[in-house]
Amino acid sequence: MDFLPGFSEIRAADIPKELLYEDEKPGIPAILYKMGKMLPRAAAGVLSSWEKLDPDVVNQLQSRLHNFLEVGPLVLTSPDPVMSDPQCCLEWLDKQKRGSVLYVCFGSMIMPPPHELAELAEALEECDSPFLWPFFGDQALNTRTVEAIWKIGVGIEGGTITKDGVTKAIKLILSTEEGEQMRKNVEHLQDLALDAVSNGSSSKNFEALLEVVTK
């Protein structure tokens, strides 16, 4: 999709089919289409992200919208919540060596079939690396963004979970220069996010948003 600024690494197949627009059929695609048509008329467009994460996309939106403001990540500007952690994941993470824990998530809205889950579990067991495996939905567009644009993770080769594919991905992340660069990229994005919310672009954009809503 290199005809869209900032989307050169995104493939048409990465877009969830549920979002494809077809002749004003009712549903989410039609709603998104109508929202897109109305967006240029909005007093402001607000996104919980920060300018340096996807600068090409930001520049394009700023050129097309009256007042496009990135004010995030909002999670960094919110008071620390009283977090419920019944599984003690945070306590466990604090005990692990820095940069040693695998984060497992799926590039699909659908839970993989049992035989693929078994392949994944066997690969994790064989690699003997600590891992965190949250059970919530993800999707292919996020996978592609993480892997090809931000370069902070890797998808499973072929898109189907196999023991060999997972093992290969784990070794790439933990035992290669490419994996080391991914971890450096994560730290770099983290620094950019912190800068944005501490008197940076997001902080200034939030002040601009307050002016819009209080007029």
178 touches 172 (CB < 8 A): yes
pLDDT at residue 193 greater than cutoff 90: yes
- What are the tokens at 15? 């877009």
For the chain, how long is the longest CA-to-CA vector? 60
Lowest mean pLDDT among 68-72, 196-200, 207-211: 196-200
Q: Are 69 and 141 in contact (CB under 8 A)?
A: no
- pTM above threshold 0.75: no
**Cα–Cα distance measured from residue 204 to residue 193, given in angstroms and rounded to the nearest whole number:** 14
Q: Is the dihedral of CA 159, 10, 177, 190 positive or negative?
A: negative
What's the sign of the alpha-carbon dihedral 114, 174, 76, 51?
Answer: negative
CA 112 to each of CA 12, 93, 118, 127, 137: distance values in angstroms, whole numbers, following the listed order: 22, 26, 10, 21, 11
d(CA 166, CA 85): 28
- Per DSSP bridges, beta strands 102-103 and 68-70 are unpaired
Residue 179 pLDDT exceeds 90: yes
| pLDDT higher than threshold 80 for residue 34 | yes
Percentage of the chain surpassing pLDDT 90?
Answer: 25
37-65 confidence digits (pLDDT tens): 898 899 999 998 998 999 998 999 889 88
161 neighbors 107 (Cβ within 8 angstroms): no
State how far the alpha carbon of 209 is from the alpha carbons of 12, 31, 70, 181, 215, in Å: 33, 25, 10, 36, 10
Segment 73-122, tens digit of pLDDT: 887 776 666 666 777 888 889 999 888 888 887 644 456 778 888 888 88
For residue 48, give every residue at least 6 positions away whose Cβ sits within 8 Å of its Cβ, in sequence order, or none: 70, 71, 72, 73, 74
Which sign does the torsion angle of CA 145, 149, 152, 156 carry?
Answer: positive
Q: Give the per-residue pLDDT at 138.
A: 52
Q: Count of alpha carbons within 13 Å of 90, Cβ hemisphere only?
A: 5
Residues of the chain with CATH 3.40.50.2000: 89-189
Q: Which CATH architecture has domain 89-189?
A: 3-Layer(aba) Sandwich (3.40)
User: Tokens 């567009």 label which residue?
Assistant: 141
DSSP letter for 15, please.
S
